[in-house]
Structure 1
Amino acid sequence: MRAAVLHTIGDEKLDIRDDVTVLGPGPGEVHLRVRASGVCHSDLSALNGGLPQPVPAVLGHEAAGDVIAVGDGVEDLAAGDRVAVNWLPSCGTCAHCRLGEPYLCMTHVMAGYVMPRFTAGETPVFGMAGCGAFAEEMVVPRAGAVQIGDDVPYEVAALIGCSVTTGVGAVVNTARVRPGDTVVVIGCGGVGIAAVQGARVAGASLIVAVDTVPARHEQALRFGATHSTAPDGLGDLVTGLTGGEGFDYAFDVVAVPQTLRAAWSAARRGGTVVVVGAGRAEHQVEFSPFELLFEGKSIIPSLYGSADPPRDFPRLLSLWRAGRLDVEGMISRRLRLDQVGDALASLGSGDVIRQVIVHD
């Protein structure tokens, strides 16, 4: 089959090969034909070293497709079933799973760092997060495949699999924004736009979208933001909209030191800063003990929108069916597999919301 292979961290090009073979399915695994996969900023972070990734690797983790075959012990899925990929499947038995925190389970993801998912010729090849969606086929653990209705387009299901769940989940699962609360979202790519939509669904009274790319300001307003601004205009909006008090919730979808400090400054005393983006391990953010105590603000993480995908994917799809989540509108380009390298490179330009590879 064909797949886009990353050979070395930092490579500017992916190697489109047609001699790639998927491994499995083994016991408890599901073999999928990938029909659509989103191009996510996390894929770019894996390519450039921002996120750890063994190589060679097939990137991609935001996907949907059809079941080809199942391994021993999988009795509730069959060939032909349509599924969305859950890139952070829970094992069900670790301490976090037992505490009701499936989004903190690392069992299957860590296995992906030591267990190749493909071969290219004779060379073992890893899959990003144990997935590898920039390929025509892939194998995931049973918990990594969530069955969906046949009425759901593959492109919609793919985005539900990561960006929509991450952004909306940060608002409704992690922060639990209530009607009338005030919200600022810093960074309005795919996940940020999903957070804006989540805030609208939750009933936030003010939703301010912040981004360095002017084109994203109008996009954010179209998806439900009440105001949009460049970073240097955020202070004026804090003054004009909140009387200088700040917002109840500040979502940092970029997660670099400057944006985290900006989110802290934009949150009111006693407010909450929600870290949504996957920052680099070497970055450091400095806070004084004095401000941490007397500002009374909370900083909380939101990994994968604090999601339980078997529960949350159907909920999000219900909102999509009801017209309350615009997922199709987030798709700006449909690509071929051989265009994925250029698509990753274009993420830095910020002029697209989402790009989706649709396989034949």
Structure 2
Amino acid sequence: MSVDNFLDNSRSSWMEGEGEHSDIVMSTRIRLARNLNGFRFPLAFTEDEAHKIDQSVSATLLDAADEALQMKFSSIQIKDVSELGRQVLVEKHLISPKLANSPNTGSVLLSEDESVSLMVNEEDHIRIQCLFPGLQIEEAYKRADNIDRLLEKELPYAFDEQFGYLTSCPTNTGTGLRASVMMHLPALTKTKQMNRIVTIISRLGMVVRGIYGEGSEALGNVYQVSNQTTLGKTEEDILADLQSITEQIIQKEREARDALLKHSPNTLEDRLYRSLGTLSYARLMTTEEAARCLSDVRLGIDIGLIQDVDMSILNECMVFMQPGFLQKYAGTTLNASERDMFRAKLLRERLQKGEKEKTKGEEPA
């Protein structure tokens, strides 16, 4: 597949709204950081070293993926992707901002369904990323581990018996594992419980970030919860801890939703439907307003107040409301006010199309 296929498609497999607790957990991500023995880290390597690493990793995965993994991958050189295209790949969670800003040495291997992206020469030589819908920590890890084992059979990893996998940043040394869940927590945010939860989570070796990871905001009440410790714990312990904490947050969010419904049902319903009306009819909309309205409509669907909107469409809207995808879709550079106008237009059209698709699907054969 060419890079245009990935850029033009606004929907990835993790957006399908399936998986356990998908009303709260939007996606699960597993990321493994690995480096090749005998090469300097990306912070210090030469372009020649980067090219050799890229060739070795790409050849190993592409040669074995069809048979061993039953998956097809496409290799994309970041330097061949426009600046806008790189922004779109970041917005779809397929590459990191770090890789997008390393066009001369970086590449990415993407599976056709976009559930797996293998970033080459990012902060480390290899970053294996698996994205699954809903809460599927074990399943996502198994996929990443299979790819990791396949590569390790052919490539000499930088590994130390005492410290584990060696990485560019010491905070990733050890297992090299970052496991995270992306959660929609509007009720906990609305009831002002998130600050306390973030403090408690940090004491347990976890960290809470925004929708695009470190340094990003919790746009639309969406938060990433991930492990902070990679050294001194086994992969099994890290995954079990994340599973336990996630389940506790889910329970707290459900309790907060029940409380909102019990104490102010009419006010809540009015707010949710006003947001749906804004998405359906507004002519100007900022990223922040779109995210807030999408969050409200998602909550309305989850608690059964809104019936006629497909959840996967909302996940898709969270991607294409972003500045990069908007401009890619428009086929031209847009200033802030033009983006606000085009964003509102796209959201109106996508919701209307979704309603027609849903009605058509419900018609008797």
TM-score of the aligned structures, taking structure 1 as reference length: 0.26
User: 1 or 2, which has the higher helix percentage?
Assistant: 2
Find the structure with the greater CA-based Rg.
2
